[in-house]
Chain A
């Protein structure tokens, strides 16, 4: 209690709750998954399926992505909800379809610092999921950066691979989200600052 900083009262965070079944008329918006118009030079597709613990696709999940631009810059432009067709905002939101599939049109994010492994940050929401989950979809190419990534290095190989997107022949990224089961995606907890001391 010696500094002004530690004198500040800490507030307890508000609990999360499930997104429920009826977000479909509220959260999705026009071109939510199109960070760039499909077909824009340099654009790629990020797509995959969200699965439950029985390996069945989940038809009522919604995903958000947040990422750096192709040069690795953090974007501070508004306009994610009402896209002007030209400005890359770094944020997208896409519900899955009836077969659990989602699609974003975006760019390969650049490394935010030299040598860092580029990834797309993702938040996952679904009916039946009590609280949102965070994960990362890493680009597969820079194997040295991937090997040096602190998160990936802290995971055993079988778990690590759930975070690395697959590059398909057409240049798109394939990234499935498995909420439960053998190949369960690694989901992240940023809540405890104490964990960052080590």
Chain B
């Protein structure tokens, strides 16, 4: 600490300044990989181009811990918690929401490729005009009285989830002057262990805003970024009804199985790949 901290929400810098910062970090990452450093798979929690992160990330490294019993289990969710209709975001009001109707389907898997069954998936998103229904969203784009943008479901026996929704619009924010988020859907996921809990964002293929967005770019590895981008699937597209997108999610571990198989050493050696 000691030196003055930049105001985290000042929106003073323009895109050219941000893009240079983003590029510098990426080039330094590529050089380190070329020199033999392992590929990164998660976002950097210390990523200054996302200004709000400056005072909100731990500066001490995360402390390695063996999960204890409670952390090797996950809370249970079921049909007491989630109604089947909550996966359809287009029927929550009196009429049809505006925008491009889309089917979004995929699987939740663990690191061994096994389906995560009977677990909670939650999503939230902007409407087709890029406006969130949240009261702090002051973007002067129209709210849609027929769209809230919140959905939930419980994964099936094969780990599958499916939502019917409206494609969200790009969204302006105040990270810097003329900052726009690529269209995205927020996802919240549970696994079979609490250690697998993640919240993330799904993006759409070919978005021109990817190179400009510090949240997407906080994942410095292109291969890792690609894991957040859905695939357009014409076979999933429903004629005269909705476009189809597919996106699978892979959680970590689970480590409970490794314990049972006493496979720490073998698993540990290739765990970074």
Interface residues in chain A, defined as those with a beta carbon under 8 Å from any beta carbon in chain B:
3, 5-6, 8-27, 52-54, 56, 58, 64, 66-68, 74-82, 84, 89-91, 109, 112-113, 116, 119, 121, 123, 125-134, 150-151, 154-155, 159, 179-182, 184-197
Cβ contact within 8 Å between B186 and A19 = yes
A112 to B54, CA, bound (A): 38
Which residues from chain B contact A22 at a C-beta distance below 8 Å? 124, 126, 132, 134, 136-137
What are 29 of the A-B contact pairs (CB < 8 Å)? A5-B263, A6-B266, A10-B112, A10-B273, A12-B41, A12-B224, A14-B227, A18-B201, A21-B134, A22-B134, A23-B124, A27-B122, A53-B56, A66-B70, A66-B71, A79-B80, A80-B76, A82-B80, A121-B71, A130-B43, A131-B42, A132-B197, A134-B197, A151-B66, A155-B63, A179-B56, A186-B60, A191-B271, A193-B255
CA A170 to CA B255, docked complex, whole Å? 38
Q: A82-B81, A116-B68 are in contact. Are A130 and B50 (CB under 8 A)?
A: yes
Q: Which B residues, 128 to 159, have Cβ-Cβ distances below 8 Å to chain A?
A: 132-137, 148-150, 152
Structural contact, B45 and A130, CB atoms closer than 8 A: yes
Overall SS of chain A's interface = loop
Is the CB–CB distance between B267 and A193 below 8 Å? yes
Contact B113 A9, beta carbon cutoff 8 Å: yes
In the complex, the 10 A-B pairs of residues with the closest C-beta atoms, listed nearest first: A128-B52, A26-B124, A194-B268, A91-B75, A189-B62, A78-B78, A81-B81, A128-B56, A53-B55, A195-B64
Apart from A54-B55, A184-B58, A192-B268, what 14 extra A-B contacts exist at CB < 8 Å? A8-B113, A13-B41, A18-B50, A20-B186, A25-B132, A52-B56, A53-B59, A66-B194, A76-B73, A82-B80, A119-B70, A123-B197, A193-B264, A193-B271
Q: Are B113 and A121 in contact (CB under 8 A)?
A: no
Find the A residue at minimum CB distance from B272: A192
B44 in complex: contacting residue of A58, A89, A130, CB < 8 Å: A130
With a cutoff of 8 Å between Cβ atoms, the chain A residues found around residue B271 in the complex are 10, 191-194
- Please judge, given known A-B contacts A22-B132, A53-B5, whether A15 and B56 are in contact too, CB under 8 Å: no
Q: Are A16 and B42 in contact (CB under 8 A)?
A: yes
Question: How far is the CB of A52 from the nearest CB of chain B, in Å?
Answer: 4
Residues of A within 8 A of B198 (CB): 13-14, 16, 131-132
